[in-house]
């Protein structure tokens, strides 16, 4: 029995770019799947195919039990979508935008008005509710767009980078709204570039790169694959970089990454604060002066580095930094697929 969102072998090409290169997804009802990937990975294309906005070249998709390619209109009635770029009418006020959405979904005028009022409160837009949205800031538009996606509560929701451009407080609040939504039984697919966000919200994560799912699992499983936390050290003297690398090597669960020019060394570890204290003692014993040291959680870059052997590519033509290395057996197999 496929989940509330199901895709099999989705392929979508734009000229010679394979934006989706055989994507399989299965999201059980009432859960959140985080689609995690760098710019150009294919996240938006996947969302557009699943929400009937784009027809895949091949593959199959079923959303809320309905075949996306055969019955797009029926699918549209069962889903909510908040796109990557806020789609609000500039000349209408925030309140009018939300009421209009309610009416498009055939709500009665009074119900649409009440719902609009609730959402404006919830998203801290009540004060600006009666101003045309062209006067809104980027974050306000983003919030209004999300509110619009929540006017009716569809059983399946798609959110494409819902918190990009929000400040930390608004991001936290949106996370709470999303959690409530899911507690109410909604199935959600959300895309993000932040492992931390997927961590907070998603039951399951699919990492995409070059139009393919390159890893799947819970956040803990993905982090375990990246070797847990990182110790990051900045040494004071450039001459000490090599010795510090030796020290860290002794504690690391994987290769140490060295950035010569910033004198920064990073190594995956397990053992938390206790281990950090040991590292500090050992560096001190060896007479290595440090400018900074800390323990941090793995980021999307760490996940990419350990899965593909290179950091997340910002553009299509080559790694964004030279931190990528070929010393892992999981070397990226699909380079040839990447666009020119
Ligand atoms: N309409 C289009 N025409 C041509 N190429 C496209 C089109 N839409 C997407 N692409 C290409 O397909 C690839 C995947 O794009 P997509 O927008 O799905 O990435 P994304 O993961 O959403 O990235 P971002 O994080 O930047 O939003 C990119 O190489 C992009 O340039
Ligand atoms: Mg996108």
Contact indicator for 313, 40 with CB cutoff of 8 Å:
yes
Determine if ligand 1 sits within 6 Å of the CB of residue 178: no
Residue 176 Rama label (left phi>0; alpha psi -120 to 50; beta): alpha
Determine if ligand 1 sits within 6 Å of the CB of residue 39: yes
Determine if ligand 1 sits within 6 Å of the CB of residue 192: no
Determine if ligand 1 sits within 6 Å of the CB of residue 53: no
pLDDT at 324: 33
pLDDT at 327: 31
- 225 CA to centre of ligand 2 in angstroms: 25
Ligand nearest to the CA of 46: 1
**Which residue numbers in the chain have pLDDT < 50?**
314-340
Burial zone of 198 (CB within 10 Å; 0-12 exposed, 13-18 middle, 19+ buried):
buried
pLDDT at 49: 96
Contact indicator for 292, 310 with CB cutoff of 8 Å:
no
Residues 287-330 pLDDT 10s: 999 999 999 887 767 777 777 766 665 433 333 333 333 333 33
Return the ligand 1 atom nearest residue 211 CA: 14
Determine if ligand 1 sits within 6 Å of the CB of residue 37: yes
Token look-up 């809104």 returns 136
- Give the global pTM: 0.78
Residues 156-185 pLDDT 10s: 999 999 888 788 888 888 888 889 889 989
Residue nearest to atom 4 of ligand 1 (CA): 14
**E-only strand ranges, the chain:** 5-14, 17-27, 32-36, 58-63, 66-67, 79-82, 156-160, 187-192, 204-209, 212-217, 229-235, 257-259, 264-269, 290-296
**What is the C-alpha separation between 219 and 204, in angstroms, rounded?**
7
The CA-atom distances, in angstroms, between 131 and each of 65, 111, 126, 137 are: 40, 21, 10, 12
Residue nearest to atom 18 of ligand 1 (CA): 42
Ligand nearest to the CA of 337: 1
Return the ligand 1 atom nearest residue 44 CA: 22
Residue nearest to atom 3 of ligand 1 (CA): 14
pLDDT at 3: 84
pLDDT at 154: 87
Determine if ligand 1 sits within 6 Å of the CB of residue 41: yes
Determine if ligand 1 sits within 6 Å of the CB of residue 83: no
Ligand nearest to the CA of 50: 1
pLDDT at 150: 87
Return the ligand 1 atom nearest residue 15 CA: 4
Determine if ligand 1 sits within 6 Å of the CB of residue 339: yes
Return the ligand 1 atom nearest residue 20 CA: 14
pLDDT at 88: 77
């Amino acid at each position: 029995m496929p989940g509330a969102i199901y895709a099999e072998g989705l392929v979508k090409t734009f000229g010679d770019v394979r934006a989706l290169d055989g994507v399989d997804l299965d999201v059980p009802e009432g859960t959140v799947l985080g689609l995690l990937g760098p710019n150009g990975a294919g996240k938006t294309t996947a969302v557009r195919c699943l929400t009937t906005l784009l027809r895949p070249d091949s593959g199959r998709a079923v959303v809320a039990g309905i075949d996306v390619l055969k019955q797009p209109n029926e699918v549209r009635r069962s889903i909510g979508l908040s796109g990557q770029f806020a789609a609000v009418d500039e000349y209408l006020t925030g309140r009018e935008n939300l009421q209009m959405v309610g009416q498009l979904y055939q709500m009665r005028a009074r119900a649409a008005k009440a719902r609009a009022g609730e959402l404006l409160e919830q998203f801290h837009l009540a004060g600006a509710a009666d101003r045309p949205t062209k006067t809104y800031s980027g974050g306000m538009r983003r919030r209004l767009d999300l509110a619009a996606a929540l006017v009716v509560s569809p059983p399946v929701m798609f959110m494409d980078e819902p918190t990009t451009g929000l400040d930390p407080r608004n991001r936290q609040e949106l996370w709470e709204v999303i959690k409530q939504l899911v507690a109410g039984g909604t199935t959600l697919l959300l895309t993000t570039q932040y492992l931390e966000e997927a961590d907070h919200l998603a039951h399951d994560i699919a990492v995409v790169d070059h139009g393919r799912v390159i890893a799947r699992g819970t956040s803990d499983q993905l982090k375990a694959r990246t070797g847990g936390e990182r110790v990051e050290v900045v040494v004071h003297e450039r001459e000490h970089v090599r010795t510090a690398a030796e020290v860290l090597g002794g504690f690391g669960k994987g290769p140490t990454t060295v950035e010569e020019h910033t004198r920064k060394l990073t190594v995956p570890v397990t053992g938390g604060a206790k281990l950090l204290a040991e590292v500090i003692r050992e560096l001190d014993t060896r007479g290595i002066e440090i400018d900074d040291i800390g323990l941090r959680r793995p980021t999307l870059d760490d996940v990419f580095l350990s899965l593909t052997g290179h950091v997340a590519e910002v553009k299509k033509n080559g790694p964004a930094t030279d931190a990528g290395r070929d010393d892992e057996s999981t070397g990226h197999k699909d380079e040839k697929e990447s666009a020119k």
